[in-house]
A and B are shown apart, each in its own frame.
Chain A
């Protein structure tokens, strides 16, 4: 490929993708929401340490526990999606690999959230 343009000349004037501020702010908002949710998560798991299946199900069936666990999973996975996106942008140089990594990341995060939230709901509504 014969291209006399320098890299800076190629991007000059094109502007940003216009998504950076939203990404940055959402990362911070989910970080703040994670503080109380992580405290809830840690306190709950320490408090139920060593319990068996029936006791864990009984705990998770409580409306407060179900809802806070769903919020924790949703917020944490969203925060994780934003953070790992930055890692891919920083460390994956090849555009094709970068694109594939981004798609794989997004699909994985949706799968993790869906599996977790479905499991919580199944326990919450189960007989």
Chain B
């Protein structure tokens, strides 16, 4: 920082919150959360390759109250990152820049991710025979 007293361009606090802005910020946040998920997946795969006993310990962590909460958060992050990522791919091709369409697709990513997350967990509990 050569000249510290220079005026800065306005940052987050001057803007009114809107769906497209929220989706963009959450895309980064969920991406970072998924990096943590990648570490957990690695731990799980290493446990599976290590053997039955260690795998059971990791499965117990995953199945605990905290574990399920974390996995639920990662499921939501994955679905939200997937939906807004696909939206970004269309924007990279020059589509979806009409303001109304842009806001609508931004909101749709949340609808998709919430429905998909609940659907995935419902299906998983069905498979486990809990529901």
Question: Chain A residues in contact with chain B, CB under 8 A?
Answer: 3, 5-7, 28, 31-32, 34-35, 38, 42, 45-50, 53-54, 56-57, 60, 73, 76-77, 80, 83-84, 87, 93, 112, 115-116, 118-120, 122-123, 126
CB contacts (< 8 Å) of A112 on chain B: these are 38-39, 42
Q: A35-B82, A46-B124 are in contact. Are A119 and B46 (CB under 8 A)?
A: yes
Q: Residues on B close to A: CB < 8 A?
A: 1-3, 28, 31-32, 34-35, 38-39, 41-42, 45-46, 48-49, 51-52, 55-56, 78, 82, 85-86, 88-89, 92, 120, 123-125, 127-129
Residue contacts A-B, CB under 8 angstroms, 19 given: A6-B2, A7-B2, A7-B3, A28-B89, A28-B92, A34-B82, A38-B78, A42-B120, A47-B127, A50-B129, A53-B55, A53-B56, A60-B48, A77-B38, A84-B31, A87-B28, A87-B32, A112-B38, A112-B39
CB neighbours (8 Å) of B32 from chain A are 84, 87
Closest chain B CB from A7 CB (angstroms): 5
A34 to B85, CA, bound (A): 10
